[in-house]
Amino acid sequence: MAVGGGMIIVTGGAGFIGSNLVAALEERGEGPLVVCDKPGAGGNGRTIAKRRLDAVIEPAGLPAWLAENAGTIRAIFHLGATSSTTETDARLLARNNYRFSMDLWRWCAAEDVPLIYASSAATYGDGSCGFDDDGSSPALARLKPLNGYGRSKHLVDRRIAHALAAGGARPPQWAGLKFFNVYGPNEYHKGGQRSVVATVYADAAAGRPVRLFKSCDPRYADGGQCRDFVWVGDCVVVMLWLLDNRQVSGLFNVGTGTARTFSDLARALFAALGQAPRIEYVEMPESMRAHYQNFTEARMERLRRAGYAAPFTTIEEGVGSYVRDYLSRDDPYR
C-alpha cells in the first residue's frame, strides 16, 4: 500500500514536461523524488542537473526497483515515451509506449498507487472527429491517429477504457492527460520536435525573419493554421492539482481551450524581443501536406467539471516568460 508523504516517481523525468514537473515538485517540498529515464536523456542530463533527487533509474531497471520499494511510493507520473512523431519502428513504440504503460497500470492497481500518465493530442489525428476527451470505448474507437506515436498512445487509452468497462482492477486514482502543443524551458534537446518558439528564437533574436509554412488549405491564410499552444507551466499545475485531488480520475485534455495561429505565436515572440514582426512564408514540404493538421483546439469542459479552476496562460504571457526568463539567458534551463 502507498503511504502519505512517500516517494514520487516521474518516468521521463529528464524530458521536457517531466523535468519541469520534477522542478515544481522539488519547489513544493515534495518527495523523495525519483526519476526514471534513459542515460543521456534531457541533453545529457542538463534538464535535471539542478534537482535534488533520491534516485535516477533506467527504464529497464524500474520493475525491480518497484518491487524493492513497494509500500513506500505515493504516486507515479508516467511521462516517459518514445515521443518522436516520425518514429516508424512499430515494435519499439509497442514496447516503450504501450507495454511499459500497461505494466505500470497493473502494478499501480495491485499496489494501490495513483497513476497519472501522458497521452497526447496526437490521438485525435486530423481532427475530423473533434477534440473531445470522451474516454469511453465507443468515443475512442472513432479516433484515427495519423502516426505511430499517436497510435501507440491511443492504444493505451483504449486498453484502459476497455479494462474500466470490464470492471478490471485499477489504480486508486488514474488520469490520462492529452497534452496539446506544449512549449517552454527544457525542450532544447528535442531537435525537430521542439516547439516553434524554440525553433525560430535564434533567428528572431538575431534580427532575421521567422519562417512559417504557407497554407495548403484555402480556409486558412498563410500562417493562419491554428494550434492550441499551452505553456508547460500550466501542464505542471494541472498535474500538481491531480496529485492534491485523489478523488479525480479520468481522461483529460490539457490545452488552453483557445486555438491561436502560428502568425500570432511569431508576433508574440517578436513582441517579447521588443522588435517589429518579420515573418516569411515558405512552401510546406510535400511529405507533410496530406496529413497536416490545420486546426487543433482542446475541449476543456471535462477538466473544468472535475474542479480544475486555474486560468491558462496566453501565448503573449507564456512566450514573454519563455524569452525573458529562459531563452535569452546564458543558462536557459529551469
Contacts of 169 (CB under 8 A, 6+ apart): 106, 109, 110, 163
Catalytic residue among 124, 149, 322, 326: 149
Q: Which is nearest to 298 in space by CA: 160, 79, 120? A: 120
Contacts of 219 (CB under 8 A, 6+ apart): 294
Q: Establish whether 149 is a catalytic residue.
A: yes
Catalytic residue among 38, 190, 214, 333: 190
Instruction: Tell me how far the alpha carbon of residue 127 is from its chain's centroid.
Output: 18
How far, in Å, are 27, 75, 202 from residue 274 at the CA level? 31, 43, 14
Kindly state the cell numbers that stand for 270: 517578436
Q: d(Cα 22, Cα 53) in Å, to the nearest integer?
A: 9
Q: At what angle do helices 262-273 and 196-205 cross, to 10 degrees?
A: 40
Tell me the DSSP string of 243-260: HH-TT--EEEEES-S--E
Strand positions, DSSP E, 120-244: 174-179, 181-183, 210-213, 226-227, 229-231
H or E stretch at 78: strand 73-78
Q: Establish whether 144 is a catalytic residue.
A: no
* Residue 257 identity: G
Strand positions, DSSP E, 88-179: 115-118, 174-179
Q: Taking a C-beta distance cutoff of 8 angstroms, is the pair 239, 116 a contact? A: yes
Tell me the DSSP string of 271-293: HHHT----EEEEPPPHHHHTT--
Whether cis (ω within 30° of 0) applies to the bond prior to 32 is yes
Handedness of CA 273, 45, 187, 30 (dihedral sign): negative
Catalytic residues: 149, 190
